[in-house]
A and B are shown apart, each in its own frame.
Chain A
């Protein structure tokens, strides 16, 4: 399992995979299990949840009590990275905004993600008919469905059969039951006309049939730290580490890929990378090169791989590489449920993914914005951490004290200490995640004058929200307020208005960025064909979220996994036909 030390090797691998996240991990798993000799390059260190996860640590075991100084989602979060990496800058153009989250580690961002595992629906793949604003994928849901099914069986996902047209059901393990605050939310949402169904998450609420390597969930609610018994999906634990065990996959960690090398025939020969361990440059060769470095990083590698045969960047004769970048929209609201004050204590950690979930439920013909969003919910008796009940002075004057009298907000002493106890476990939060329209004018490109510490030219982003996304955020806020009202909650977060785009997060903050190396049937309008194979370079594939033509409101990971599996099986078929 540990043959991942760096060696300079004249070997020509069957395939080189750049990146070890959902896309790269799945490609490595499929190809290594099929007997191919595969080399995987990961820009961060080797990381195994079994030994490296901070799961089951108590808040006092962190000097910052789980605060987010060095990791944006807290000291215990399973991510080596963030929106800002030392020595690895990116720039922004025309005062537009884009925040780029990178996890440099085996498994990438799948170690810390929310495990919310949604299939895109038939309408998400063919969305042009809805309003003409977006382009269709070259593939249909029915073509991807068999791969979603295989991913469900192989990795495991809980959920419930709902028969909602554009929220396709999967092959589900039982979903966790709702927590108390989630029953309040469900009741309020129903009154507000909002659909609530059980969540869908890649957590093994029961043993995964036929799999002896992965443990079963023991309900600590800490999937974000990555699971030591592999009961949730991380690309590290579920794909890459098992693939290493086949003996066919070698991983080189701390290998930052600079370019894909192409030959006079225009085909990919291998890649050039810098080792973060010795600062040396290496070149490795393969018959097939597969990029799974993340949507933006893969676009960056292609654009930096310009050559005589590929003057505008590799796989970029269409000029679309870097364009059509889109991240989910996001806005949120929080409050508390007075009825839950002084509630009984018990362990309600549950799973670390969502227990309940609202799929998009409305008809856009009656709305002033295109497309929809889903809602994720939070709250309850969580493990205290940095910022615990911050701003109690904004809360403890809003409801009567135990004596039935209103209190002066703020305070100190025994009565304040008791307020913390009374309010504990009353908070609720809602967050919308919606469809952003893929636009040519939202893009990343190579900054002509800036390099990172490895001398690799960096990305420059240009991204603007439009009325479509802002109005969607406004609708989210109105919906959240209406649910909060119906469930008897009191709002605690400030209400965002037009001056803050209704709380619409800056692009990149939701970390669902996709679309930068899109697929299509027309080589003039797309970089990849429907198998995620470069139109211009037949032994080059992209398996992360870059090939997405247009995402729905669904989180990208499950689709990345399905498409990467589909592409990997295509590569195996083409190899048999000696095409690649």
Chain B
């Protein structure tokens, strides 16, 4: 079977790759909000996986207060800029809500870290983290966002923030918005012919294959 027949077998026919990818999707929610209500895929998945996803999606782990902190923190970590929207625009808080249920090892560090953050803010500013002003939130986050510079009494906050940064980055850059932002342009039928000539030249590999 040649490549064109391969694509026909995939159900692509003469459609473009973009259409193929759209056609593969079973839900057509607007970009960025895909994480808000994940669809539970059933084809090619084991019954226990499907059940588990449905169960996790029906449960709620974070309180509204905790979720307010997660939204604020994720948008501080990945704000909107000229290229793309913010973490919450991309559905990061809903992803974090899901993933701590999926990977329970995140639960205590996240819950405890958010509480630690509230206590720090109450002592400093007289308000819990989500009730602080944006400037106060930035002031607090600055104390825990730089592991090498952070003072010893901030180390627990550093650990929490490292985790929060990682989860935010995963949530953002695995969303449709984030994939477009990072510039991953694969996951579509094509033909790999090697590194483009201009790139080979840029790195001095134009004399080799």
Contact = CB atoms under 8 A, between A and B. Distances in A.
Contacts of A64: 98-99, 102-103
B119 interface: no
B111 interface: no
Interface in B186-200: 186-196, 198-200
Contacts of B182: 384, 420-421, 424
A70 interface: yes
A393 interface: yes
A388 B194 contact: no
Contacts of B199: 180, 343-344, 346
B185 A347 contact: yes
A219 B208 CA distance: 22
Nearest to A214: B1
A213 B98 CA distance: 41
Given A51-B44, A67-B99, A339-B203, A347 B190 contact: yes
B155 interface: no
- Most A C-beta atoms less than 10 A away, residue of B162, B184, B202: B184
Interface string A373-404: 00000000111111111111100010000000
B102 A228 contact: no
Contacts of B9: 50, 215, 228-229
Interface in A160-217: 176-180, 183-184, 207, 211-217
B133 interface: no
A54 interface: yes
B34 A60 contact: yes
Interface stretch (A10-18, A408-416, A427-435): A408-416
Q: For this complex, into which size category does the number of interface residues on chain A fall?
A: 35 or more
Given A215-B9, A416-B78, A420-B173, A57 B24 contact: yes
A283 to B, nearest CB: 27
A408 to B, nearest CB: 5
Interface in A511-557: none
Contact of B77 (A382, A383, A413): A413
B10 A388 contact: no
A207 to B, nearest CB: 5
B43 A183 contact: no
A408 B149 contact: yes
B192 A412 contact: no
B139 interface: no
Interface in B154-178: 158, 161-162, 165-166, 169-171, 173-176, 178
- Most A C-beta atoms less than 10 A away, residue of B40, B166, B176: B166
Contacts of B148: 397, 408-410
A177 B195 contact: yes
Contact of A61 (B7, B25, B169, B209): B25
A348 interface: yes
B67 interface: no
Nearest to B40: A63
20 contacts: A63-B38, A65-B95, A65-B99, A67-B102, A183-B205, A207-B1, A212-B1, A218-B191, A229-B6, A229-B9, A349-B186, A381-B184, A381-B186, A383-B187, A384-B179, A387-B166, A392-B165, A409-B147, A417-B79, A421-B182
Given A212-B1, A344-B198, A348-B186, 9 more contacts: A58-B25, A86-B48, A180-B199, A220-B187, A339-B203, A349-B187, A381-B183, A416-B165, A420-B182
